[in-house]
A and B are shown apart, each in its own frame.
Chain A
Amino acid sequence: MKGVSGWFTLKGKSVNSIAYSFHRLTGIVLLLYLIAHLSFLTSLRIGEETYTAFISITVRPETLPLDSLLFLATFYHAFNGLRVVLNEFGLLYEARKVLIYLMTLLALLFWLYSTYMMYVFLTG
């Protein structure tokens, strides 16, 4: 058996596997984010000052690229997940490759817009 490396082996594979690998990768990123997010929220139990100190580390212009990448991972995972759900219900199976391109395009558009909105929010 090839093991987990089989999820990320792209040599000789089609766009389906690229989408699949990115879906796994963004899923792992979102899981890590969820752990960090819940840790931040849990810090409220220690006190509001601790929570504010934590938040001040991440909500600043220098961390915008990281926030932007997180949004990219989120939108990609969401839109590609929608495609997988559709296909797994037996819908639009024949158009699965077109759907990959369409969903990736939608994810990129949402990502660019959200990054712009975050930039405006942080820079005023």
Chain B
Amino acid sequence: MEREVLFRIRRFDGEKEYWQDFRFTARKGMTVLEGLYFIKENLDGSLAFRASCRMGICGSCAVKINGKPRLACETQIFDVGDVLEIEPLDNMPVLKDLIVDMDGFFRKHEAVKPYLIRKDDDYENPKELLQTPKELHAYYDFSLCIKCGACYSACPASATRSDYLGPAAITAAYRFCADSRDEGREDRLALVSGSEGVWRCHFNAECSEVCPKSIEPAKAIQKMRLMSAIHMIKSIFR
């Protein structure tokens, strides 16, 4: 099955922003990413977008498709319709066409120390850290984040505060705070308990709606919020 589709792409050349239309014949099963490659190879070689794995693992092809942040490689054209408006992600500066500057997004992720912190780190004599299935399930879902930035794009709190950590970074913080092997909870809680952390979230929950991995960042933020509240109360009595 084939039919003509219209890709309306919001482009940016470094100075001005404009919409450009591309019409081509799409076939059944064709993804938006394949459509973008078709345009680049046949219609306009100057179109810029990010992509890598083409299988929903790397998260680099996240764009807004008809207003909703999605992975271009996991979205089939016919599932969206005959007219697709494709835009770069929100809340991040656009560099060119569909490519956004994710540096700030990754800096925030880095800030919450998204790695296991152990007091007994000894790389010369590594030891196995055992964990029960229950302990694994406490954080496993949240470890599936691919850092595509879809949640950050959909978040209205991130739209108004550039210093807000955002759903992805707080989810990463919760993922490690909920890990039974981790000993860096206090460090992370100090980071996410500030005004730029969990208390900035106003529970729009759109992050959970758009997450291509269904990891529920809004849930992680609320769990982190509870953890943060307990931490703050405890710190008063210390």
Contacts and interface: CB of A to CB of B under 8 A. Distances in A.
A88 B225 contact: yes
Contacts of B162: 1
A2 B90 contact: yes
B67 A11 contact: yes
| Range, interface on chain B | 20 to 34
B60 interface: no
Contacts of B205: 16, 87, 96
A96 B219 CA distance: 11
Contacts of A20: 156, 202-204, 206
A9 B158 CA distance: 13
B203 A84 contact: yes
Contacts of A5: 159
Interface in A1-43: 1-7, 9, 11-14, 16-17, 20
Nearest to A10: B67
Q: Name which of A4, A14, A84 has the most chain B CB atoms within 10 A of its CB.
A: A14
Interface string B218-230: 1100110110000
B203 A3 contact: no
B66 interface: yes
Contact of A12 (B68, B91, B225, B226): B68
A13 B210 CA distance: 9
A93 interface: yes
12 contacts: A2-B91, A6-B90, A6-B91, A12-B64, A13-B154, A14-B209, A17-B204, A17-B206, A20-B204, A87-B205, A88-B203, A93-B222
